[in-house]
Amino acid sequence: MATHILADGLTLEAVPANGKSFTLEELQGFVGGYIERLVLPTGQILFLDEEGKLKGKAINPFATFITRGIVADEDMVVGDVILCTPEEAGEDG
């Protein structure tokens, strides 16, 4: 099950509308903008707003923590993100 990680620290379970994989529109809705994709060492995929910093979105401490080693140490993730499996991201093959 996917996890919607809000910048304020709240986490919510998320399920694709079709029960299998999220649409582009669903992913954009979770992050509030155009998506950027990061693959974590666990194989999970994190989607974030690619323009979040330009929009002045708040730092997302948990998302920043789980992306250490993927993004530069001095960088941070901002705004709401969604963490999902490759299948939920529509990348099952």
| Contacts of residue 64, Cβ cutoff 8 Å, sequence gap at least 6 | 71, 76, 77
Please state, in angstroms and rounded to a whole number, the distance separating the CA atoms of residues 25 and 23.
Answer: 5
Could you tell me the residue ranges of all domains in the chain? 2-84
Task: Tell me the three state secondary structure of residue 82.
Answer: strand
CA distance 22 to 74: 31
Two tokens at 71?
A: 């993004």
Which burial class, exposed, middle or buried, applies to 61 when counting CB atoms under 10 A from its CB (0-12, 13-18, 19+)? middle
Model confidence, pTM: 0.94
Q: What does the pLDDT profile of the chain (93 residues) look like in tens digits? A: 999 999 999 999 999 999 999 999 999 999 999 999 999 999 999 999 999 999 999 999 999 999 998 888 889 999 999 999 999 999 875
